[in-house]
């Protein structure tokens, strides 16, 4: 009979389980700035293709996403009972990241340039955005279209032995919406940190083996829901599946 029942667990079994818990300090982030943003940055002297590995490594803190279910109260089906029925999944609205700031301030230049492109600051100058005009009170600017500044952002959570599964997150249509202030002080010196908030449509979380690649859009993985072409139901977990076969 199913239910919670006490059971004897040996010390060795407990150690085997609790000595293999996931740690919070192993993760990597990946940005893929849109072409127009990358071009603007290049004109301003920042080649993201050359600097991406270092800049992404500067991310020292972020959060893995969550979601909630919006529910509707249903009453009177059973005497004295109010049921909650889910009708919509609600994703977190923002993704927050904190970065160490390098001595050349390239991480600030990267996100400042991205937001400049979104808001239209200095982007008409073919030399990369002469922003001197924006020191004038009367200057104006016009925002760019969303398809030119939205992109996917990736966070991969792994373990230090590089032998277990990873939590691979894709944040769909993300872009920075806030560059938070950076406190500086004559007090005891510390590493400068820089925080950015992103908006995104939704996240997709994949549980991957270390050597597996995330699937592109439109490709189904074992365990996904099938459609009429698959015979319906859930795709079998034991079928032979190799991501390399997709190439």
Most distant CA atoms of the chain, gap in Å? 76
pLDDT digits (tens, 9 = 90+) for 78-126: 888 889 999 999 999 899 999 999 999 999 999 999 999 998 887 665 5
Question: pLDDT category, 203, cuts 50, 70, 90?
Answer: very high
Q: Nearest 5 degrees, angle CA 96-CA 99-CA 102? A: 160
Q: Nearest 5 degrees, angle CA 125-CA 129-CA 133? A: 90
Q: Please compute the mean of the pLDDT values over residues 54-77 and round it to a whole number.
A: 92
**Separation between Cα atoms, residue 33 and residue 153, nearest integer Å:** 9
- Burial class from Cβ neighbours inside 10 Å (0-12, 13-18, 19+) for residue 215 reads middle
**Separation between Cα atoms, residue 113 and residue 103, nearest integer Å:** 18
Q: Give the least confident one: 28-42, 67-81, 231-245.
A: 231-245
Question: pLDDT category, 227, cuts 50, 70, 90?
Answer: low
What is the torsional sign of CA 112, 113, 114, 117?
Answer: positive
Is pLDDT above 80 for 245?
Answer: no
Q: What Cα–Cα distance (Å) separates residue 246 from each residue in 12, 77, 215, 219, 231?
A: 43, 49, 9, 9, 21
Domains, the chain, with CATH or none: 23-73+85-234 (2.30.110)
Q: Give the least confident one: 107-116, 178-187, 214-223, 236-245.
A: 236-245
């Amino acid at each position: 009979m199913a239910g919670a029942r006490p059971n004897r667990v040996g010390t060795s079994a407990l150690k085997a389980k609790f000595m293999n818990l996931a740690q919070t300090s192993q993760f990597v982030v990946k940005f893929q700035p849109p072409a127009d943003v990358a071009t603007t940055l290049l004109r301003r002297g920042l080649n993201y293709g050359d600097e991406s590995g270092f800049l992404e490594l500067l991310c020292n803190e972020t959060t893995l996403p969550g979601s909630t279910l919006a529910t509707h109260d249903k009453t009177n089906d059973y005497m004295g009972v109010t049921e909650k029925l889910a009708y919509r999944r609600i994703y977190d609205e923002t993704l927050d990241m904190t970065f160490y700031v390098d001595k050349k301030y390239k991480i600030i230049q990267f996100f400042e340039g991205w937001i400049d492109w979104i808001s239209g600051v200095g982007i008409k100058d073919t030399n990369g955005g002469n922003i001197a005009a924006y020191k004038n009170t009367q200057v104006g600017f016009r925002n760019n279209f969303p398809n030119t500044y939205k992109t996917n952002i990736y966070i991969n959570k792994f373990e230090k032995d590089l032998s277990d599964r990873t939590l691979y997150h894709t944040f769909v249509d993300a872009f920075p919406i806030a560059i938070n202030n950076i406190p500086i002080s004559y007090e005891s010196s510390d590493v400068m940190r820089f925080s950015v908030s992103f908006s995104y449509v939704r996240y997709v979380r994949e549980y991957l083996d270390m050597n597996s690649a995330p699937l592109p859009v439109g490709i189904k993985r074992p365990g996904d829901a099938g459609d009429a072409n698959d015979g319906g139901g859930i795709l079998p977990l034991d079928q032979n599946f190799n991501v390399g076969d997709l190439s």
